[in-house]
Amino acid sequence: MNVLTLLGGGLLGLGVLGSLHAGTNNFYVPTFRGEPGAQAGYWEDFTIPFGSIGNLPNFGTGINAMLTQTAPGAIITGGAAGNIYNMQNASAFTVNYSSSLPVRTVVLQTRTIGTELAYDSIRLNYGFEGGSLPADRVELDRSPFGGGGGPQGFFVSSAWEWDLSSLNVGTFSITFNAAEPSLSFDAMTLDTQLVPEPSTWALLGMGGFAVLFASRYRRHHTTGR
């Protein structure tokens, strides 16, 4: 659904949209973020509006991921770094991710301005046989902007989550599209939780055994005096 009303022509709308940037994304923190095996990437200042080169995260913790937008006509608003805005065409996004370990959980969050995403278009794609998974969308925030003779619409934050624990997947892509032209893509986060290597579980088990043994040893020698 295109909830952006461009009044006074496309150039006016483009100029105003170039100055719009969400003050807060209202993204949530997944419960596993910060734990061993958790990775996170945060995109807010994009530099590549179109093509295969793509945008790496502005901030991240050990994540190997890139966002690309493949519909022609897109620009970066606000100068060298800003939002990806496409007045001519409906934007098409791909997030490529790779890890040497299988992924257990994936959480994607996006922030858009004006035109919204085609929410039924989002898919997580994996494997050589073309596996593809949809996900239920959770709306995190919807804040109005504009009016008074200028562009008006909504800042919208959304989240999706996938459980990949049964798939043994370490590489995947997430694809999604704008519902119509004039979407301004403001921000995105990608969180993944990896399945630990067997050696990691062994070390954790040994650590727990060592703690238990030390506790019993101290208790035995304390009561034996």
Chain segment 128-179, per-residue pLDDT in tens: 889 999 999 999 999 998 877 777 899 999 999 999 999 999 999 999 999 9
Residue 5: its pLDDT value, please?
32
3 state DSSP class of 218: helix
Residue 147: its pLDDT value, please?
74
Chain segment 39-97, per-residue pLDDT in tens: 999 999 999 999 999 999 999 999 999 999 999 999 999 888 899 999 999 999 999 99
- Give backbone dihedrals phi and psi of 164, rounded to 5 degrees, phi first: -110, 15
Report which residue type is found at 124. Answer: L
Residue 16: its pLDDT value, please?
41
Report which residue type is found at 198. Answer: P
Q: Is the Cα dihedral 183, 184, 186, 188 positive or negative?
A: positive
